[in-house]
Chain A
Amino acid sequence: MQNNTFYNEVLTDHNLHPIHKHHLEDANFSLEGVNPSCGDDIILNLKVEDGRIVDGAYEGDGCAISQASADMMLDLVIGKSKEEAEHLADIFLRMIKGSITEDEKEELEEASILSDVSHMPARVKCAVLGWHTMQEMLEEV
């Protein structure tokens, strides 16, 4: 049987072996994001110093898309300023809506593999859960 789903190796690897899925002892920002309809549930923890995300992690349960998306997001934003992270969130959310340039897509690095979600309305909420949670959190920074 051929693998004709979009669960490619990058995605499944981030899901099965996440780099950033752990507790973050010295986080100074923490927010829970939930998709009530499907039960995806993540707690995003960031350590922000002088407007820069110096560390980040997440905990929780959910489908592979929600978990891998959060993991790839943290890969991207750790080390970035608040403004840079917000810029990336804006691009990512536009990618999921299907309106993004090729240059912008490159900025998202691995996270760009989720662009196909724009054709899967049922999974949009899963893909954006981590990003929405981070956006909401950064408003408080």
Chain B
Amino acid sequence: MTEKDQLIRKEFPILKNRNVIYLDNAATSQKPPCVIEAADQYYRMYNANPLRGLYALSVDATDAYENARKTVADFIGAARPEEIVFTRNASESLNLIAYSYARTFLKEGDEIICTIAEHHSNMLPWQQAAKVTGAKLTYLYCEKDGTLTPQMLEDIITERTKLVAVTQISNVFGRLNDIKGFAKVAHDHGAVLVADGAQSVPHVPVDVQDLDCDFLAFSGHKMFAPMGIGALYAKYDLLEKMPPFLYGGEMIEYVTTEGATYAEVPHKFEAGTVNVGGAVGLAEAIRFMQRFGWDLITKREEELTVYAMEKMKQYPYVHVIGSEDPKEHHGIITFKLDGVHPHDIAAIFDAHGIAVRAGHHCAQPLMKYLGTLSTTRASLAFYNNKEDIDAFVETLMQIRKEMGYAE
């Protein structure tokens, strides 16, 4: 391990505590002590029900929550903090768009387009919204290597298309999609662009104003923050005209027995007591990433992906899904190993202390399109290092022998 490796490793004690080589970062990341302590400190020093209490402690809790919102807004380049709605995770953010925006503004005869490469979280909400509104759901098929271009959207979009949903980085291919290009095509045809940022926001710099996407959903837990906190970015004027998602406490202005007027954006989308500890943890996770910086994070992840894929290429029985260029993978390496089922592959890795993901990666329609039932995925974070990759490849090359093949 290099000095830098050791320095970064110190931030993730679980890797040593459990002696695990953790290569399932696309599922969730590990958490550094500063994040755990920030949430802990909130509950020790600032906890009260925010937004309502007329006493110092509640004001502190409110400040902690709203400062976290500002940190998130700045991190993704939002024009103002009110454009950030805190949710539980990317799935909830996407559902919020489907329930509040799509079900209100879409009608029979309209069209929704989502790509075949989407995680179920960015597919099922649109399937349901289409069923309820009578809109038609059309799939944009990627190339078999995961390529998706704005021109491919241009070829199928119509004047009836009202919403286009595209992942910024696929959790199977790892390819970075041209969200700016997709947004332009969508806007040219009068549609809004929903970007799934669950895999991108933790791994590449994202600037929503530059991308000009209308919505961006992401989770905190994939970017070193606690589980149970995520965010939805949406353009302010869209949030203004959208109805609430959930109804109840903290999201109203004035209530009578007949009805209510709703709180201002973004509070009208945050019904009930909110997750301040989670939001504080997410803000600290962002500062943690900023302390290391994008240059280091993206460079390390790219170097490790190149290193891993070069080694995997030497072994004829392994086949990586997606681009042959490691730079198109953003730390996500999904693969098949001839003759061995992914669940057996993952079990053998586990027996060697290596955590990888096996299965359909919550993308069953994509797996069917690729003609496979399931695959295995190793996904990196910047705390991984070459020793992790060496152990991973060494084990990978033993698996067929353990399963009874001669080589």
State the A residues within 8 Å of B (CB): 1, 3-7, 9, 12-13, 15-16, 37-41, 61-65, 120, 122-123, 126
Contact = CB atoms under 8 A, between A and B. Distances in A.
Contacts, number: 58
Contact of B404 (A16, A37, A41): A16
A9 B339 CA distance: 16
Interface in B332-352: 339-344, 347-348, 351-352
B404 A3 contact: no
Contact of B403 (A1, A7, A40, A120): A7
Contact of A3 (B340, B359, B374, B402): B402
Contacts of A122: 347
A38 B347 contact: no
18 contacts: A1-B394, A1-B395, A1-B398, A5-B348, A5-B351, A7-B344, A7-B403, A7-B404, A9-B404, A12-B403, A15-B403, A38-B374, A61-B373, A62-B341, A63-B341, A63-B344, A65-B343, A65-B344
A120 B395 CA distance: 20
B405 A64 contact: no
Given A123-B343, A126-B343, A5 B359 contact: no
Interface string B321-365: 000000000000000000111111001100110000011100000
Interface of B: 339-344, 347-348, 351-352, 358-360, 373-374, 394-395, 398, 402-405
Contact of A38 (B343, B351, B352, B395): B343
A10 to B, nearest CB: 10
Given A5-B351, A7-B344, A9-B404, 4 more contacts: A1-B394, A7-B347, A12-B403, A37-B359
B403 A16 contact: yes
Given A7-B403, A39-B360, A64 B351 contact: no
Contacts of B343: 38, 40, 63, 65, 123, 126
Contacts of B360: 39
Given A5-B351, A120-B347, A38 B403 contact: no
A7 B348 contact: yes
B339 to A, nearest CB: 8
Nearest to B391: A1
B347 A39 contact: no
Nearest to B340: A64
Nearest to A14: B404
Contacts of A9: 404
B404 A12 contact: yes
B190 to A, nearest CB: 39
A53 B302 CA distance: 58
Nearest to A12: B404
A7 B341 CA distance: 13
Given A1-B394, A4-B352, A63-B341, A39 B359 contact: yes
A63 to B, nearest CB: 4
Contacts of B395: 1
Nearest to A7: B402
B333 to A, nearest CB: 20
